[in-house]
């Protein structure tokens, strides 16, 4: 029950629904258990004894019981559902909040499809047990307990004989539970992997089609689908093996009842009506015990789902807020790295190794180097997407860990290499980081990002509704809207992570020209592979395997004979070739 204890805060605060449901469950169960007694009275006192004058009273009494049971069943089911539904709402809300604040390190390994599976199927599986499993377990106790009391009142000997097979049934049920829970856990995990595969394929469908990998993806999906099928077959096999066995043991109880009960009736030790009532009550014991498999099924699913939900809730957030964080201050943009080392995982090679530099406020810094050399890692430390392994990152004379995360990140504009746009209007996407921005500010940001003209050519202009991930726009257009979004924040620190990689050179030049005005009085970090994007920078850092191997300004570095000059010559020569080809044509 550890899983349920860990998730108790989500459902026990609304225990009134649970207790109301239980109260009316007791009433409903009690009414149900009166039926055999009514049946016994009808047989013994009306049919056999000939007291036909009791029939109207029995009919009215039975009718009233059905009406009362209908009302109490409604109240019981409604409150049971409310108990689970409210818990599901609170749990899913907390999970989503937790996902928003988990560090980048978690998402480095997490699978989107698996996360979606946890927030949908697993939450629903846990809710199903809260709404129905708890009450069914209590119904089981009530049926078995009250039925046995009534049966003992009829005949102690017949009760003992009838229930001789029950210990075997309990052993089988316990063995079933031991097998079915791990099976359901594997089903949940397999479903998460299958969901992840579908999500990845749909997200990357353009890549799949462009490389003609449809058959390859179908085969890969087949493997995941086959695994999910096999896990379900294994689970079904457990059910197919144990449920008939439980039913057989239950039927043995019925055989014992009819055999010995018939003997008692023949010898006038038991009335016929009592035997019929006894038979009904036996069903109220055997069927709940057999249905215990379904309760265990719900419990196992809920436990397996709950374990996966607890994993998210207990996932540590390595990015801790300071005990007394600095809030509501305006960052100026002076950035210093003091002997900074970063390892994404403890046993990994350092992504950054003993990096030190100072960037005055309002200056422009260019970061260049091969893929994986550490450029992006620098900017991710500034925003505290990750924390340093050693050393310290300082902004305006204070360690970044001293700032409130919202205060820090709300003043840093970030344009990623792969822009992400939401399924909303262009206007909403640009104002995403600054919801209070006026229409004039949104348009100004779009103009600076060289996006205004193509936006106005769209049918609804700034009110154009974008598809998923910005579908309907070219890569360059998505990138320019992403840049406009960063500008609209009016950040003190602007980070452009290869932000013009998706645009052509003419558009890049136009954006760079517009950005010159934007970068005034802002500390700007430009990560680029094209020297043309950073040659105007006040400082240029050349990275190689997590270290700064060169630093200076463009005019100095192109004559140093180092990596920067080699990159410059390669790109310059390529441009010369392109120009010569154009002239020859």
Residues 25 and 89 in one domain: yes
Based on the structure, what is the number of domains in the chain?
A: 2
Confidence grade of residue 108 (pLDDT, cut at 50, 70, 90):
confident
Residues 297 and 369 in one domain: no
In 3D space, the residue among 520, 483, 517 whose CA is nearest the CA of residue 500 turns out to be 483
Beta pairing class for 493-497 and 412-415? parallel
Full DSSP string of 223-234? HHHHHHHHHHHH
Q: Which residues pair with 523 in a beta bridge?
A: 493
Sheet holding 390-395, edge to edge: 352-359, 335-342, 390-395, 398-399
CA distance 327 to 402: 9
Top pLDDT among 436 and 192 is at 436
In 3D space, the residue among 290, 289, 1 whose CA is nearest the CA of residue 145 turns out to be 289
Residues 305 and 394 in one domain: no
In 3D space, the residue among 528, 486, 485, 523 whose CA is nearest the CA of residue 503 turns out to be 528
Q: Which residues pair with 240 in a beta bridge?
A: none
Residues 378 and 297 in one domain: no
Q: What is the mean pLDDT of residues 153-176?
A: 80
pLDDT digit string, tens, across residues 461-489: 888 888 766 667 777 788 888 888 888 88
In 3D space, the residue among 85, 150, 154, 177 whose CA is nearest the CA of residue 124 turns out to be 85
**What pLDDT, on a 0 to 100 scale, did the predictor assign at position 510?**
67
Residues 442 and 505 in one domain: yes
In a domain, 303, yes or no: yes
pLDDT digit string, tens, across residues 431-461: 888 888 899 999 988 888 888 888 898 888 8
CATH of the domain at 559: 3.40.50.300
Confidence grade of residue 206 (pLDDT, cut at 50, 70, 90):
low
pLDDT digit string, tens, across residues 223-238: 888 888 888 888 888 8
Q: C-alpha angle with apex 553: 552 to 558, nearest 5 degrees?
A: 95
Reduced to 3 states (helix: H, G, I; strand: E, B; else coil), residue 412 is strand
In a domain, 196, yes or no: yes
Q: How far is CA 160 from the centre of its chain?
A: 51
In a domain, 10, yes or no: yes
In a domain, 324, yes or no: no
In a domain, 319, yes or no: no
Residues 279 and 408 in one domain: no
Top pLDDT among 514 and 305 is at 305
- Tell which of 313, 343, 360 closes a domain: 313
Residues 236 and 121 in one domain: yes
In a domain, 149, yes or no: yes
In a domain, 318, yes or no: no
- Tell which of 282, 313, 344 closes a domain: 313
- End-to-end, the C-alpha distance of the chain in Å comes to 77
**What pLDDT, on a 0 to 100 scale, did the predictor assign at position 209?**
65
- Tell which of 313, 346, 365 closes a domain: 313
**What pLDDT, on a 0 to 100 scale, did the predictor assign at position 20?**
92
Q: Which residues of 98-123 are buried (b: 16+ CB within 10 A; e: fewer)?
A: bbeebbebbeeebbebbbebbbebbb
Q: What is the mean pLDDT of residues 486-500?
A: 84
Residues 309 and 230 in one domain: yes
Q: What is the mean pLDDT of residues 512-525?
A: 78
Q: Kindly tell me if the per-residue pLDDT of 357 is higher than 80.
A: yes
Q: Which segments of 102-165 does DSSP mark as H helices, in order?
A: 104-109, 112-117, 123-128, 134-154, 156-162
Top pLDDT among 422 and 575 is at 422
Residues 100 and 223 in one domain: yes
Q: Which segments of 344-399 does DSSP mark as H helices, in order?
A: 375-382
Instruction: Return the DSSP state at 131.
Output: I
Burial of 319 (0-12, 13-18, 19+ CB in 10 A): middle
In a domain, 573, yes or no: yes
Residues 349 and 308 in one domain: no
Confidence grade of residue 574 (pLDDT, cut at 50, 70, 90):
low
**What pLDDT, on a 0 to 100 scale, did the predictor assign at position 576?**
56
Sign of CA dihedral 36, 285, 128, 235: negative
Beta pairing class for 352-359 and 412-415? unpaired
CATH of the domain at 152: 1.20.1560.10
What range does the domain containing 468 cover?
335-584
Residues 99 and 205 in one domain: yes
Residues 231 and 368 in one domain: no
């Amino acid at each position: 029950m550890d899983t349920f204890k860990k998730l108790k805060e989500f459902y026990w605060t609304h225990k009134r629904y649970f207790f109301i449901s239980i109260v009316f469950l007791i009433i409903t169960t009690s009414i149900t258990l009166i039926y055999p007694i009514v049946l016994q009275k009808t047989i013994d006192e009306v049919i056999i004894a000939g007291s036909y004058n009791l029939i109207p009273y029995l009919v009215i009494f039975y009718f009233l019981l059905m009406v009362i049971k209908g009302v109490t069943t409604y109240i019981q089911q409604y409150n049971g559902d409310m108990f689970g539904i409210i818990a599901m709402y609170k749990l899913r809300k907390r999970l989503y909040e937790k996902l928003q604040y988990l560090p980048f390190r978690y998402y480095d390994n997490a699978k989107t499809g698996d996360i979606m599976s946890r927030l949908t199927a697993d939450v629903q599986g846990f809710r199903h047990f809260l709404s129905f499993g708890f009450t069914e377990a209590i119904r089981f106790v009530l049926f078995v307990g009250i039925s046995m009391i009534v049966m003992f009142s009829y005949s102690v000997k017949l009760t003992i004989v009838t229930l001789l097979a029950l210990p075997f049934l309990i052993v089988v049920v316990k063995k079933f539970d031991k097998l079915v829970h791990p099976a359901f856990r594997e089903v949940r995990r397999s479903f998460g992997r299958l969901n992840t595969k579908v999500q990845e394929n749909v997200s990357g469908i353009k890549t799949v089609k462009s490389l003609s990998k449809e058959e390859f993806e179908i085969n890969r999906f087949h493997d995941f689908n086959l695994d999910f099928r096999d896990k379900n077959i294994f689970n079904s096999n457990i059910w197919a093996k144990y449920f008939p066995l439980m039913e057989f043991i239950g039927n043995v109880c019925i055989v014992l009842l009819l055999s010995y009960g018939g003997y008692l009736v023949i010898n006038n030790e038991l009335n016929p009506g009592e035997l019929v009532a006894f038979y009904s009550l036996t069903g109220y014991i055997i069927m709940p015990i057999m249905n215990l498999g379904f309760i265990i099924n719900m419990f196992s699913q809920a436990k397996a789902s709950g374990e996966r939900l607890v994993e998210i809730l207990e996932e540590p957030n390595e990015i801790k807020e300071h005990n007394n964080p600095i809030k509501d201050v305006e960052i100026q943009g002076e950035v210093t790295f003091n002997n900074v080392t970063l390892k994404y995982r403890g046993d990994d090679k350092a992504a950054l190794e003993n990096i030190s530099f100072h960037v005055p406020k309002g200056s422009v810094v260019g970061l260049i180097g091969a893929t994986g050399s550490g450029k992006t890692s620098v900017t991710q430390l500034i925003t505290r997407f990750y924390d340093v392994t050693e050393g310290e990152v300082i902004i305006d004379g204070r360690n970044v860990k001293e700032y409130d995360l919202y205060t820090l990140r709300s003043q840093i504009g970030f344009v990623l290499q792969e822009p992400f746009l939401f399924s909303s209007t262009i206007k909403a996407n640009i104002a995403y980081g600054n919801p209070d921005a006026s229409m004039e500010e949104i348009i100004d940001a779009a103009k600076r990002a060289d996006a205004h003209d193509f936006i106005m050519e769209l049918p609804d202009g700034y009110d154009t509704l974008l598809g998923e991930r910005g579908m309907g726009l070219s890569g360059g257009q998505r990138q320019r809207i992403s840049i406009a979004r960063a500008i609209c924040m009016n950040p003190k620190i602007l980070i452009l992570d290869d932000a013009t990689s998706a645009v052509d050179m003419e558009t890049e030049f136009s954006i760079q020209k517009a950005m010159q005005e934007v970068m005034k009085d802002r500390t700007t970090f430009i990560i680029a592979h094209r020297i043309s994007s950073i040659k105007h920078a006040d400082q240029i850092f050349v990275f190689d395997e997590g270290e700064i191997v060169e630093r200076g300004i463009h005019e100095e570095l192109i004559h140093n004979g180092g990596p920067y000059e080699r990159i410059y010559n390669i790109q310059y020569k390529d441009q010369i070739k392109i120009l010569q080809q154009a002239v020859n044509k």
